Amino acid sequence: MKIIAIANQKGGVGKTTTAVNLAACLAAKRKQVLLVDLDPQANATSALGMSDVEGKSMYEPIIGQAAAADHIVATRFDNLWIIPGDINLAGAEIEVARQEDHLTRLRAAMEPLRKHAPLDYILIDCPPSLGILMTNALAAADEILVPIQCEYFALEGLSKISNIIHQIADSGTNPGLTLAGIIMTMFDARTNLSHQVVEEVRKHFGATVYKTMVPRTVRLGEAPSFGKPIIEYEPVGAGAIAYNTLAREFIARHKEA
C-alpha cells in the first residue's frame, strides 16, 4: 500500500479536483482506494456527494480519541472509500500544535491502516496551507503528488513545496518522503503561456512531471457542485479522458517503483 499526499500550499490549482478524480478513476480500474479529506472546508467530501456525513473526519483519530478505521465511510462507488472532512479539523490545527509529537499524530493514526487495511492506495487531500494538517500529511505519506496550474507562478510554488519536503526529510520526521509526481492542471493548449510553463517545469523537474496534462474545462469546474467525479458527470469529455489517462500513468509508475 502507498500513502500519497496530494498537496500544494497555493489554492485554486486543481488539488482537490485531482484528488477526487484520480481516486475515482483508480477505483474504476479496480484499485482499492481510500480518500482522506484533510481539509476543514471538506471540498473533496462534497465533490463526491457526501456533504451530509458528519463526525467522521480525521479530527478524533488525530487527537487520539478514535481509530481511523472507524471513520472510514463507503462511497457509492465500488472500491472507493472516504474519511470525510469537516470543520472540526480546523480545531486540530490548534490542539495538535500543543503536543510534543505534533508532526506525527496523523502518521500514528494511520499506521494501523497501513498494516491491516486491504487497500492499494490512500490519497490524502491536504488543505491549501503550510499548517499543522499539511505537515502531518507529509509526515505520514510515502510520497507527495503536486498539482500545479499552468501559470506564471507555478515554479515559485514548486520551490516552496520542494523546500518543505526537504525540511520534513532532513528533520528525521519522514526521511523517506519523496516528490513522486507533478501534475500540470488547467492546461490551455491555445495559449503560449501554458506551453511555456510546462516546458519550464519539465526542464527543472524532468521525469517527475507526469506526461498527462489536465485541460482547463468548464465541466471539471461544474462537476463538484453536482457531487460527482468527472467520470460520472461527463464520462466521455476531455476531463474524464485526462484523469483516466492520468490514473493509468499513475498505476504504471507505481508498478515500476
Q: Determine the average pLDDT of the residues in 171-186.
A: 92
Residue 106: count of CB within 10 angstroms of its CB: 28
pLDDT digits (tens, 9 = 90+) for 189-242: 899 999 999 999 999 899 999 999 999 999 999 999 999 999 999 999 999 999
Residue 179: which residues within 8 A CB-CB, separation 6 or more? 143, 144, 146, 161, 162, 165, 205, 208
Report the alpha-carbon distance of residue 231 to residue 235 in Å, rounded: 4
E strand or H helix at 140: helix 132-140
- Position 153 scores a pLDDT of 77
129 vs 80, which has greater pLDDT? 80
Report the alpha-carbon distance of residue 143 to residue 137 in Å, rounded: 10
Tallying the residues shown for the chain, one arrives at 257
pLDDT digits (tens, 9 = 90+) for 95-121: 887 887 888 999 999 999 999 999 999
pLDDT digits (tens, 9 = 90+) for 7-19: 988 878 889 999 9
- Position 257 scores a pLDDT of 58
- Position 10 scores a pLDDT of 80
Strands 33-37, 73-74: pairing is unpaired
Question: What cell was used for 226?
Answer: 453536482
Q: Determine the average pLDDT of the residues in 175-183.
A: 93
- Position 155 scores a pLDDT of 75
User: Would you say 29 and 247 are in contact if contact means Cβ atoms under 8 Å apart?
Assistant: yes
Residue 39: which residues within 8 A CB-CB, separation 6 or more? 16, 85, 89, 125, 126, 127, 128, 133
Q: What is the rounded average pLDDT for all residues in the chain? A: 92
Instruction: Please compute, for residue 164, the number of CA atoms within 13 A of its CA located in the half-sphere on the CB side.
Output: 25
Report the alpha-carbon distance of residue 212 to residue 12 in Å, rounded: 19
- Position 250 scores a pLDDT of 98
- Position 45 scores a pLDDT of 97
Residue ranges covered by each domain of the chain: 2-256
Instruction: Please compute, for residue 6, the number of CA atoms within 13 A of its CA located in the half-sphere on the CB side.
Output: 29
β-sheet with 209-215: strand ranges across: 73-74, 80-83, 33-37, 121-125, 2-6, 143-149, 178-187, 209-215
- Position 203 scores a pLDDT of 92
User: Would you say 18 and 147 are in contact if contact means Cβ atoms under 8 Å apart?
Assistant: yes
Q: What's the CATH code, domain 2-256?
A: 3.40.50.300
Q: What is the pTM of this model?
A: 0.95
- Position 142 scores a pLDDT of 96
